[in-house]
Structure 1
Amino acid sequence: MDDKTKIRLTAAEMAMLWTQYINDTASICVNSYFLEKVEDMEVKTVIEYALNASKQNITFLKELFTKESFPVPMGFTEKDVHVNAPRLFSDTYFLMYLRNMSVLGMTAGGVSLGLVTRPEVVTFFKSVLKKAVGLQDLTRDLMLKQGTYVRPPFISTPDKVDFIERQSFLTGFLGEKRALLAQEITMLFNNIQTNAIGKTLITGFAQTAQSREVKDYFIRGKRIAQKHIDIFSDILKKEDLPAPMTWDTALSDSTIPVFSEKLMMFHVSGMIAAGIGNYGASMSGSPRRDLGLKYASLIPEIALYAEDGANIMIKHGWLEEPPQSDNREKLINGE
């Protein structure tokens, strides 16, 4: 029987493994700083879990890349973080940040498992998913214990099973609007939370960025995040539903650089990509037309913001090129 580990990596496996490597090197930088600054011993345990998980992933990925004669990506190193810089975020924010990262990790791990085929790569992404679930459990349990976990709104339990009888179920512009569905409330709530977490992070980045170009880019992102928080919060408030709190107070007044501008720009680009994905999912999960069109109107704004960020990264040589297919035309022409 053929050895399945001798089969070349597919494009999907290259993409997922390469992306995982880049993300884990960034995570090591961020969590190394968190670990240096954390004061709460319970939060410290969670940070150590996240940091060790990323280090274990990197060990496996380096070995696999070497075996496959695949160039090990540059990613991020200790040069991209100053662990001795003053505290920028609170312990509470560390926990909220890690909970959000665990959600992204579960999503990425699940997508990867649906696309990879080589046995050792499948096993690896199973472990990635398991670690992300473990991090979610640790952060959720500790936030519930410490009283910092913000639950989605409560609504009344349905009295009976019912079916939709009128097209007005889909409307949202003219006439009477129906009440929000549970799934629509969930999408709005989640988008407020992720924008709030992102706003605090990007505000810290703006405080500590050194170049005017990068600082202005982060300030623009902060304003976009606040605008989107306000839009989604207003929708919930009009339905007499509570909007989740924000965590601006989780940020110190330090202006001393913590992370390299390369790492900060990469981090923001990753958050934008996740945000676009969230809005796309929210569109598909929000039958009321006004909500779907609201998400659709916001996606181009953050997509343009992402493009401007990519241009800054390319300009400064910060954007590492992912694996890509051969350019047959150039090969034929000897270029």
Structure 2
Amino acid sequence: MENKTNIRLTAAEMSCLWTQFINDTLAVCVNTHFLNKVEDNEVSPIIEWTLNEAKNNLSIMNDIFTKEKFPLPIGFTEQDVNTQAPKLFSDTFVIMYLRQMSILAMAASSAALGLVTRPDVVAFHKRVLAKGVELQDKTRELMLIQGTYVRPPYISTPDKVDFVEREQFLAGFFGKKRALTSVEVTHLFLNIQTNAIGKALITGFAQTAKTDEVKQYLLRGKELSQKYIDIFSNFLIKEDLPAPMSWDSSVTDSTSSVFSDKLIMFHISAMIAAGVGNFGMAMAASPRKDLGLKYASLIPEISLYAEDGAKIMIKHGWMEEPPQADDRKDLSKG
């Protein structure tokens, strides 16, 4: 019977493994700092578990890459984190941050499982998905116990099943606007929450970044996050629905460097990419025109911000190049 692990890695498998490797090296750095500074005895075991699972992932991927004679990505190392730096984020924020990271991990591994075929790579991404679900459960349960979990808004249960009968359902600019659907409320809540977490993270990074160029970039991102929070919150407030809380107070007053500017820029770039994806999903799920077009108008703005971040990373030699297809024209030159 054919040994399917001898089959070469496809472009999709290379991409998913390479990206996961970089992300797990970042997770090791970030959680090492969290674990060194944690004060809450209930939070500490979750951070330690997350750190160990990231290390286990790296060990598995190391074996796959070595077997394939694939050069190990550099990602981030102990040089990218200052373990002696003072505490930067509250333990409450750390749990919320880990919950958000579990959501991203579940999304990435689910997407990977739709693309990968080699049994060892499939098994690895199943493991990542399972651990992402487990981390989500751990953080949710603790936040519920500690009273820090913020539920999405409640709306009334429908009396009966209805079908859309008029095009007014799509309206949003003129005349009477219909109430938001539960799907639209969900996406508004999600985008407020992710931007609130992103804003707090950027605030901490801006306080501790080394170069002025990175500081200015982060401050610009902080303004954009607040802008998006205000826009989305306004839609909910007009419907007499609550908006998620801010996490600004979860950042300490420390200005000591914790993470390298390279790590900071990569982390923010990854969160921007997730934000663009969230906006796209929200736009597709929001038939009310004013809401859908609002998302559409914000995507170019955040994409331009991401591009400016990429330019900074390239300028300083911080952007590790992913695997690329062969340039046949260049090869034919001999």
Per the TM superposition, whether the score is higher than 0.5 is yes
**What's the TM-score, normalizing by structure 2?**
0.99
**RMSD value over aligned CA atoms?**
0.5
2:93, 2:84 → 1: CA distance?
A: 18
Match status 1:193 vs 2:193: yes
1:82, 1:231 → 2: CA distance?
A: 36
1:251, 1:288 → 2: CA distance?
A: 36
2:78, 2:321 → 1: CA distance?
A: 21
**SS of the residue 1:160 aligns to:** coil
1:219, 1:3 → 2: CA distance?
A: 52
1:280, 1:53 → 2: CA distance?
A: 31
**SS of the residue 2:157 aligns to:** coil
Following superposition, the deviation at residue 84 of structure 1 comes to 1.2
Following superposition, the deviation at residue 100 of structure 1 comes to 0.3
Q: What letter corresponds to residue 21 of structure 2 in structure 1?
A: Y
1:295, 1:29 → 2: CA distance?
A: 33
Following superposition, the deviation at residue 6 of structure 1 comes to 0.7
Identity between Structure 1 and Structure 2 (%): 67
Match status 1:244 vs 2:244: yes
Match status 1:208 vs 2:190: no
1:83, 1:91 → 2: CA distance?
A: 16
1:210, 1:81 → 2: CA distance?
A: 13
Following superposition, the deviation at residue 13 of structure 1 comes to 0.1
After TM superposition, what 4+ stretches of structure 1 lie above 3 angstroms from structure 2?
Answer: none
Q: What letter corresponds to residue 98 of structure 1 in structure 2?
A: L
Q: What letter corresponds to residue 84 of structure 2 in structure 1?
A: N
Match status 1:153 vs 2:153: yes
1:16-55 mapped onto 2 (5 Å cutoff): 16-55=16-55
2:84, 2:94 → 1: CA distance?
A: 17
2:210, 2:257 → 1: CA distance?
A: 8
Partner in structure 1 of residue 322 of structure 2: 322
Partner in structure 2 of residue 84 of structure 1: 84
**Partner deviation per Cα, 1:130-184 (whole Å, 9 max, x = no partner):** 0000000000000000000000000000000111100010110011000000010
Partner in structure 2 of residue 14 of structure 1: 14
Match status 1:119 vs 2:119: yes
**SS of the residue 2:265 aligns to:** helix
Q: What letter corresponds to residue 37 of structure 1 in structure 2?
A: K
**Partner deviation per Cα, 1:188-232 (whole Å, 9 max, x = no partner):** 000000000000000111000111100000000000000000000
Following superposition, the deviation at residue 3 of structure 1 comes to 1.1
Following superposition, the deviation at residue 2 of structure 1 comes to 1.6
Match status 1:103 vs 2:121: no
Following superposition, the deviation at residue 50 of structure 1 comes to 0.9
Q: What letter corresponds to residue 64 of structure 2 in structure 1?
A: L
1:246-285 mapped onto 2 (5 Å cutoff): 246-285=246-285
Q: What letter corresponds to residue 245 of structure 2 in structure 1?
A: M
Partner in structure 2 of residue 136 of structure 1: 136
Following superposition, the deviation at residue 49 of structure 1 comes to 1.4
Q: What letter corresponds to residue 233 of structure 2 in structure 1?
A: S
**What's the TM-score, normalizing by structure 1?**
0.99
1:261, 1:306 → 2: CA distance?
A: 16
Following superposition, the deviation at residue 275 of structure 1 comes to 0.1
Partner in structure 2 of residue 305 of structure 1: 305
2:204, 2:245 → 1: CA distance?
A: 18
Partner in structure 1 of residue 169 of structure 2: 169
* Number of residue pairs aligned between Structure 1 and Structure 2: 334
2:192, 2:37 → 1: CA distance?
A: 27
Q: What letter corresponds to residue 229 of structure 2 in structure 1?
A: I
Following superposition, the deviation at residue 47 of structure 1 comes to 0.6
Partner in structure 1 of residue 223 of structure 2: 223
**SS of the residue 1:292 aligns to:** helix
Partner in structure 2 of residue 58 of structure 1: 58
Following superposition, the deviation at residue 314 of structure 1 comes to 0.2
**Partner deviation per Cα, 1:76-133 (whole Å, 9 max, x = no partner):** 0000001110011000000000000000000001000110000011000000000000
1:99, 1:327 → 2: CA distance?
A: 41
Unpaired segments of 5 or more residues in structure 1?
none
**SS of the residue 2:42 aligns to:** helix
